[in-house]
């Protein structure tokens, strides 16, 4: 069984979903662009059952996406709409089951750094690299089943925002900007919680900038089994 298959089997055991083989073929590469419109803010919702997820800034469009997969039935569904100045972007893996086999499945998503965003990411198994510090964030929510999460929020935010992370089995590393006020809480069922660059104060970790006027970032992490690493730098 491949490493990918083992990860998926663990995800299925943890989440209670079914495992089924999926026919694979040649690797397909697909790109998609969504132009920026007059929307004043946006809600981005990402749902990946298993694979590698990357999200970052770096486009003048609203979205520039690159998809890699070798199972045609797992071609991502992309839906964008706007109403009353609020845009909605949904990207979904079409299958709800965890699949075993030699599956290659990657999303590389670049979002516009100027549009105010609420971003929700849900992935069942695999790796997520979310480099979000260059985006105009209002709220971030992450739910992971089995795997590794790297969340980099370092940047120069101009307004407050909140981050909520719920993990299952695996490791989460969160990097925070030290130039703004930080308030972080973290709870893990089984595993290590390490915090650097912040001071423990009661049931939370804070920095000196939290006591001063200016931008504040509020982080709340709940882990299941695994390690949680938080760094302000």
Which whole number is the average pLDDT over 225-232?
90
pLDDT beyond 90 at 115: yes
Q: How far apart are CA 8 and CA 139, in angstroms?
A: 29
pLDDT beyond 90 at 225: no
Query: How many domains does the chain contain in total?
Result: 1
Long-range contacts made by residues 196-205, C-beta under 8 angstroms, separation at least 24? Answer: 196/230, 196/231, 196/232, 196/233, 197/231, 197/232, 197/233, 198/230, 198/232, 205/230
What pLDDT is recorded for position 200? 95
pLDDT beyond 60 at 99: no
- Give the model confidence (pLDDT) of 3-21 as tens digits: 444 444 444 444 444 445 6
What pLDDT is recorded for position 1? 37
Report strand pairing: 117-131 vs 86-92: unpaired
Close Cβ partners of 194 (under 8 Å, ≥ 6 residues apart): 227, 228, 229, 230
What pLDDT is recorded for position 73? 87
What mean pLDDT, rounded, does the chain reach? 89
Select from 181, 176, 32, 53 the least CA-distant residue to 120: 53
What pLDDT is recorded for position 153? 98
Which domain covers residue 221, as residue numbers?
3-232
Q: Phi and psi for 98 in degrees, rounded to 5?
A: -85, 135
pLDDT beyond 90 at 25: no
């Amino acid at each position: 069984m491949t490493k990918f298959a083992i990860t998926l089997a663990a995800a299925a055991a943890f989440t209670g979903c079914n495992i089924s083989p999926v026919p694979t073929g040649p690797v397909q590469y697909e790109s998609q662009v969504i132009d920026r419109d007059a929307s004043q803010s946006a809600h981005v919702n990402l749902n990946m059952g298993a694979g590698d997820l990357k999200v970052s800034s770096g486009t003048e469009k609203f979205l520039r996406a690159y998809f890699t997969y070798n199972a045609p039935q797992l071609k991502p569904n992309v839906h964008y709409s706007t109403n009353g100045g609020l845009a909605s972007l949904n990207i979904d893996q079409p299958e709800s089951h965890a699949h075993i086999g030699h599956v290659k499945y990657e999303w590389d998503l670049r979002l516009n750094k100027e549009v105010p965003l609420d971003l929700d990411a849900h992935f069942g198994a695999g790796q997520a690299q979310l480099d979000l510090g260059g985006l105009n964030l209002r709220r971030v929510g992450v739910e992971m089943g089995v795997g590794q999460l790297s969340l980099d929020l370092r940047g120069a935010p101009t307004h407050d925002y909140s981050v909520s992370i719920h993990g299952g089995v695996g490791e989460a590393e969160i990097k925070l900007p030290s130039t703004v006020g930080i308030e972080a809480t973290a709870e893990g069922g089984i595993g290590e919680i390490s915090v650097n660059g912040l001071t423990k104060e009661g049931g939370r970790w804070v920095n000196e900038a939290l006591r001063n006027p200016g931008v504040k970032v509020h982080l709340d992490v709940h882990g299941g089994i695994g390690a949680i690493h938080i760094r302000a730098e």
